[in-house]
Structure 1
Amino acid sequence: MLGPAGALLLAALASLPAIPARAQNIETAPSFVDDFTSFNRERWYVSDGWMNGSHQNCTWSKGQVSVSDGVLSLGFEKQKTKDREFACGEIQTKQRFGYGTYEARMKTDTGPGLNAAFFSYIGPSDKQPWDEIDFEILTKDTSKVQVNAYIDGKGKNEKLVEVPGGTDKAFNDYAFVWEKDSLRWYVNGQLVNTITDPAKLPSHAQKIFFSFWGSDTMKSWMGAFADPGRKLSLQVERVAFTALGEPCQFPESLACTIKQLGTSN
């Protein structure tokens, strides 16, 4: 039987605002590694003939997606469509993925007003809340990459981190580890950012994306766009997903060298 103190405690707890439950079990597609010896159309959907909004100065085009000599290339070049002066490339997985290690090895071009991105996303187009985990290279400054996360459409978790040697000089390894209680970003195996606040952790399975696009209007973030005068590209040598607790997918994988159960390194 509760005494007066216990009754007061229960009353106080009852008066606290409810904290939304965060999903602890997220279904996921199986682990995989893709080294782009060929283009797996069962895995990847190619964006074609549309754009994400008025901020984008290019139209997604399947002609800007190619695979050669074990490298996926997403292009950006002058190519007039009915709506835009440029064409650009994007691919996304057909399946959705949950907790685990997401990795990509990639190299960018350089130029203001452009965004080369490796990220996971789910949102209204899939009749889901907007959750997203990002690596975005604003190629106006190839010495850095921006990491970020959106939770139910709310961002403001961005951080700029150094990429030693630059994103355009050589291939670099980008990875994030998404667990129930943390989200961590790595560049070339080095931890660069961590989020542990439950309110800032995604709770919905997401698709994996690569995209390379430009904007005339987002100048304060991406820089003032200038016609590069040539075809530019985002190149990807490898992408992998390793589900939480499963064996790593290739010898150099971050999942081989870190503990995935709640540790930061």
Structure 2
Amino acid sequence: MSEWDAGQTNNMSWSANNVSVAANGDVSLSLTKAPAGSSRPYLGAEVQSNEIATTGTWSWTAQAPIMAPGAVFGMFTYKADWKNDPWVEFDFEFVGGDTTKVQLAIHMENAKGEHMVLTPEAQKRSIIDLGFDASKGMHTYEVSVTEKDATFYIDGKQVAKFGPADMQGNVWQIGPMASFVDLWSVSSGQEAWAGKWTDPGRPLVAIVEGADIRPAEFGSAIEVVSPPV
């Protein structure tokens, strides 16, 4: 669990108190007001795995919060050694108030250490219309990463596939990654992306039923059953 001032925003801190484990093993992450006298006005939650892998499939089964503008709920891979490794990250992100869509993202570095993301053309395929409200039940989100591409799945269905041709500079630089889940609020510089965060007057709560890494295993673990004709 993370417990420090968040680096990607200036209005909240990570708090271990915002992570709880139910009797059935479900993990809840919450975004709340901070107590009086705190260094920042809001508290969020972040958990990460001890296990790491370079290739394989990262999986999360979760129920998104009832979101609000300016909030972000992410399930993602991230470089295992955050101080020394080049940036590599694959994301599922619920952004703002709409939980019927999820955004996919990839972050890498080129040989010069420059930050590279999906090209504008590839980004057109990165916002997925789910066909359901992710805040109303559990769903499984998976990303399979190989030396040449990444395939994203939701409930066993492939929703996107990206490779070097979809990245700025045709870069494809991967490395050891852990699994993360977080819930946080944006600051003013991120409002164009996520909306303006104002206190919704209630906690935002995400529930994670399970998360795992299957090193060197590719494809969804969920068999999609076609409806009878």
Q: Which runs of 5+ in 2 are unaligned?
A: 110-114, 225-229
2:68 maps to 111
Counterpart in the other structure of 2:227: none
What is the match of residue 184 of structure 2?
213
Alignment map for 1:1-265 (pairs within 5 Å): 46-53=1-8, 55-68=9-22, 69-80=24-35, 82-109=38-65, 110-122=67-79, 125-152=82-109, 153-156=115-118, 158=123, 159-197=126-164, 199-217=170-188, 218-245=190-217, 254-255=220-221, 257=223
Q: Deviations over 1:24-81 (max 9, x none)?
A: xxxxxxxxxxxxxxxxxxxxxx10132114x342110000011103211111001135
- Quickly say closer, same or farther: Cα 1:245–1:254, change in 2 above 3 A: closer
Q: How has the CA–CA distance of structure 1 residues 114 and 245 changed in structure 2, closer, same or farther, with 3 Å as cutoff? A: closer
SS of residue matched to 2:136: coil
Q: Matches of 2:21 and 2:217 in 1, distance apart?
A: 31
Distance in structure 1 (CA, Å) of the matches to 2:146 and 2:223: 16
Q: Which runs of 5+ in 1 are unaligned?
A: 1-45, 247-252, 259-265
Structure with greater proportional strand content? 2
> What is the CA distance between 1:241 and its match in structure 2?
1.3
Structure 1 residues 135 and 245: CA distance shift in structure 2, 3 A: closer
Aligned residues: 206
* Greater RCO (Cα-Cα under 8 Å, separation 6 or more): 2
- Paired-residue identity, %: 23
Give distance in 2, aligned partners of 1:65 and 1:168: 18
| TM-align CA RMSD | 2.1
- Does the residue aligned with 1:111 lie in a helix, a strand or coil? coil
Q: What amino acid does structure 2 have at the position aligned with 1:203?
A: I
Runs of 4+ in 1 over 6 A off after TM superposition: none
